[in-house]
Amino acid sequence: MSAHLVLIDALNLIRRIYAVQERPFLHNSELADNTKKQVLFNTVQACENALLKILESQEPTHALAVFDSKNPCWRYQLYPDYKKGRKKMPEHLAEKLNDIQDVFLKRNVDSLDSESDEADDLIATLATKVALRGQRVTIISTDKCYLSLLNQNIHVYDYFNRRYLDHQYAKEKFNVKPEQLLDLWTLTGDNTNKIPGVPSIGQVTAANLLNQYGSLNALLNATDIKASLREKLAQHREQIHLSKTLLTLKIDIPLGFNLKDIRLSQQD
């Protein structure tokens, strides 16, 4: 029987659900204690409902909710400004994550986190390993980073808008192929994670260059580009290398479990 693994980017799902539950009560940007309890209760219930809808619509044979490490990941060691200024998860929500994991487990969906790796890397490792066996993988997330993994076996599904973020979506949004996205973001930078790109190279320019030369490496070695661009790329070679390293998802993390360990029964 062919496997279908569903990987849930858990904090992506939970934080967006929490934001929806919190919004009606945010009058002065601060919640009263009794309101926090109500919002958290609603969030847990909504997360369980979301999980059930995901399982119903995707009909996976295997499923796993993947969480970020509680410790700073390896990217902070390479670049201390990684995600600088990004809004942190509310403490009261962070304290509720174990309860949400318990709710998921009640539905026979286990959770995975790491001491030092982000959910992005864990998901990329799992998805790649399973896809290499010719099995289907669906990543549940709105995070654009997973689009670089798209192939015939790896799919990305936006639960909130009920749509697949596929090759056509990537082409329409970024005007490059999925396999060129990493190079695109290296040139433009990734503002969400505060990863800098090459100054004054925006998405349109980066996409045009990649469509012309095929890859970042080919662009860096091209001899027919404008002198000003060649100089700019040369000046930022070190930054380009760092940004690409930060943006590259790891696909070789030791996992310590087998696919059979997260298999769902027909009854599930």
Q: Binding site residues for K(+), as ranges?
A: 187, 196, 198, 201
Residues 131 and 241 in one domain: no
The percent of residues above 90 in pLDDT, for the chain, comes to 84
Strand (E) or helix (H) holding 155: strand 154-158
Over residues 188-205, mean pLDDT = 95
The percent of residues above 70 in pLDDT, for the chain, comes to 97
Distance between CA 175 and CA 181 in Å, rounded? Answer: 9
SS3 state at 5:
strand
CATH of the domain at 216: 1.10.150.20
Q: What pLDDT was estimated at residue 178?
A: 96
- Residue 81 resides in a domain: yes
Residues 41 and 103 in one domain: yes
pLDDT at residue 117 is higher than 60: yes
Over residues 122-134, mean pLDDT = 96
- Residue 137 resides in a domain: yes
Residues 23 and 73 in one domain: yes
Which residues 6+ apart lie within 8 Å of 57 measured at CB? Answer: none
Residue 156's domain comprises 4-170+249-262
Residues 124 and 253 in one domain: yes
- HSE-CB for 55 with a 13 A CA cutoff: 21
Q: Measuring CA to CA, which residue among 5, 30, 52, 124 is closest to residue 268?
A: 52
Residues 29 and 65 in one domain: yes
Residues 79 and 185 in one domain: no
Lowest mean pLDDT among 118-122, 209-213, 259-263: 259-263
Number of domains comprising the chain: 2
Round the average pLDDT of the chain to a whole number and report it. Answer: 93
Distance between CA 137 and CA 56 in Å, rounded? Answer: 16
- Residue 267 resides in a domain: no
Q: Binding site residues, as ranges?
A: 120, 187, 196, 198, 201
Confidence of residue 28 (pLDDT cuts 50, 70, 90): low
Over residues 226-249, mean pLDDT = 96
Lowest mean pLDDT among 26-35, 123-132, 193-202: 26-35
Q: Binding site residues for Mg(2+), as ranges?
A: 120
pLDDT at residue 29 is higher than 80: no
Over residues 216-239, mean pLDDT = 94
Q: What pLDDT was estimated at residue 256?
A: 84
Q: What pLDDT was estimated at residue 248?
A: 97
Residues 158 and 200 in one domain: no
